[in-house]
Amino acid sequence: MQISGAQMVIEALIAEGVDTVFGYPGGAIMNVYDEIYKQDKFQHILTRHEQAAVHAAEGYSKASAKVGVAMITSGPGFTNAVTGLADAYMDSIPLVVISGQVPMSLIGTDAFQEIDAVGISRPCTKHNYLVTDAADLPRILKEAFYIARSGRPGPVHVDIPKDVTAQIAEFDYDVALDLETYKPHTKGNPRQIKKAMQAVANAKRPVFYLGGGIINSNASNEVRELVHKTGIPAVETFMARGTLTHDDDLLIGMLGMHGSYAANMAMSETDMVIALGARFDDRVTGKLSEFAKNATVIHVDIDPASISKLVNANFPIVGDIKNVVNDMLAQSSVIDAQNYEQWRETIVNFNELHPLTYYEDSERLKPQWVIARVGELLGDNANISTDVGQHQMWSAQFYPFSRPRQFISSGGLGTMGFGFPAAIGVKAAAPEKTSINFTGDGSILMNCQELMTAVEKKLPVVNIILNNNFLGMVRQWQTLFYDKRYAETDLSIQPDFVKLAEAFGGIGYRVSTKEEFDAALQDAIKKDIVAFIEVKVERLENVMPMVPSGGSLFNMMLLEKKESK
C-alpha cells in the first residue's frame, strides 16, 4: 500500500488499537492532523496546552493499562510537552509522543519553530527517533509502541519532519520486530527464586515492600495471593497504592517520608525485605545507611539497572513481576504463616501507638476529612487523580483505595499541574467511574485552561480544590525548617474559582461546612459537567507523620497527641 507518511501515522495508530489521542496541532504536524480529520477510527481530544496533552495521555495510560498517545507540533509545541515526557519517564508510564519537525532541508538552519527535539528528549525518554524517510515509519512506529509497553514501560518520542509526512512510500505494518540490543528479561531465575523463598521461610520479621512495578505489570491479584498465602505484612509505596485493599489486615500502610508510623517502624525493624517492583526512592528510604539495616534484601524488578542501584540486594531477581510472583507462589509451601504471628502483633502495636489520624480542632474543614469523606461517599466508584503538594500526600494517606489503577498521581517528578489534565485522560479511559481530582489552590492554576477541554469533550471531572491560600507543602517546610519565613508561598490573592469554572462553561461551588461539601459533591456528580469545588480548609495544617529530608525512617515527626476525632 503506497501512502503518505501522514497516512502511515494514522494507519499505525489504528493497527495498535488506539482509541484516543490527545494533542495540539501546528504547522509542522499539519499533514498528520489533516489525516486525523478524514478518519473515524479514534477520537482526538484537543487540549489547550501541550503539557496537558501529555499529562492527559499519562492519565489515560495509568487508568487503562494501554499505551497513551499524544501529538504535538515543533518548537514551543514540543518544549511545552517535555515536562510530560519527563514525568512519564520517572513513573514508567508507556507513552508514544509524536511531534512534528521542520522539513529536512531546514534542520540545523534555526528555522521558524525549529528545535532539537530528539536532543532534548533523549534524557527523559526510554527511546526516541528522528524519522528521515517515510519508508522507515511503519517499522519505527511499531518499535515505538513495543518499546513503550514492554520491559520497564516508558515514553517513546517520534519526531517527524513535515516533508517526511508528505512523502509517499510502502506501508507494511506486519514488519517483524528485531531489536538486537533490546531484549527485556521477563522470566526470573528459578534457582534464585527458590533460594529467596527459602530465605523468607527462615526469616522472623519479613516485610513485603510493594512498588509501582506491580501496577505496571498488572500483577496485583498475584501479589495479593502471595501476601495472604505467606501471611507476611506488606507496605506500599506511594506509586503502589491500591495493590492491596485499604482494609486488608496485612497492609501496614504507606511507607516513606509521609508514610505511617507502623509502616516506617516495620521497615526499620524487619530482617527480610521482599521488594517487588520498587526502586528504593529517596522519599521512601530516608537515610540509606539506616534503611532496613538489619535486613536481608530480595529485589525483584524488570529493570536490571534498578537492582542494587541504591540498596544492595542479597537475592537479585530480574524479571516481570507477574511471572516472578507466580513462581514465588509455586514455592510458597516452604513458608509457614504461623511463624510470623508475633511479628504481626508487633506491627499492630505500632499502629495502636501512633495511628494515622488527624484532629478536628479548627473552625475550618480539615483537608483529611474532605478526602476521607469522598472515600466514604464514592469509594470504589471513583478514580482519584491528584496534583502535587500536601493534598497529594493526604490523598495517599486517607483515601480508601481498593484496586490498582485507582490512584493516578505524579510520583517521581512531582509535577504541579498534572492532576486536572490527567483526570481528563482518566475519564476518557474509564467513563463509567467518577473522575475526581484532588488539587490545591496553587496547582490548579497551572493547567486550569483545561476547563475548556473538559467542557468541549463533555468530560465531567470533579476538581476538589483544597484551598489553604498557601503553597502548602513548601509552607510546611518553611514552618518546620525556615523559622516561619514564608517566602513567596502566601497565596492570599486568588481568583474567584467559582466564576473561573463558570466562565469556561463548567460549574463552581464554594463550601466551608461538611453539609455544604456533601451537597456540592452530590450535585456536581448529578450535573455531569466539569466542576470546581473550592473547599476552604485549615491554613496551617501539616502532613504528618514526616521524615525530614535525609533522616532515618524511625525518626519521624509525629502528630502531637490530643483527643482523637
Query: Which sequence positions are flagged as catalytic?
Result: 50, 112-113, 162, 473
* Secondary structure of 441-508 as H, E, C letters: CCHHHHCCCHHHHHHHCCCCCEEEEEECCECHHHHHHHHHHCCCCCCCCECCCCCCHHHHHHHCCCEE
Q: Is residue 414 within 8 Å of residue 495, measured between CB atoms? A: no
What gap in Å lies between CA 375 and CA 365, rounded to an integer?
Answer: 16
Q: Extract the C-alpha cell encoding 363.
A: 473552625
- SS3 of residue 306 by DSSP: helix
Candidates 140, 145, 142; CA nearest to 159 is: 140
Cβ–Cβ contacts within 10 Å for residue 481, how many? 11
CA torsion through residues 9, 11, 14, 15, sign: negative
Task: Give me the residues paired with residue 467 across strands.
Answer: 536
Please provide residue 5's backbone torsions phi and psi, each rounded to the nearest 5 degrees.
Answer: -60, -40
Q: Extract the C-alpha cell encoding 211.
A: 512498588
Cα dihedral value 95, 415, 411, 424, nearest 10? -60
For residue 36, give the amino acid letter. I
The CA distances from residue 275 to 206, 296, 300, 416, in Å, are 11, 11, 6, 29
Candidates 261, 196, 278, 345; CA nearest to 545 is: 261
Element (H, E) at 58: helix 50-64
What gap in Å lies between CA 14 and CA 17, rounded to an integer?
Answer: 5
Q: Extract the C-alpha cell encoding 311.
A: 540498596
Task: Give me the residues paired with residue 533 across strands.
Answer: 464, 509
Strand 296-301 to 272-276 pairing: parallel
Q: Is residue 402 within 8 Å of residue 246, measured between CB atoms? A: yes
What gap in Å lies between CA 517 and CA 508, rounded to an integer?
Answer: 12
Q: Is residue 413 within 8 Å of residue 90, measured between CB atoms? A: yes
Give 137's Cβ-side CA count (13 Å radius): 30
What gap in Å lies between CA 94 and CA 88, rounded to an integer?
Answer: 7
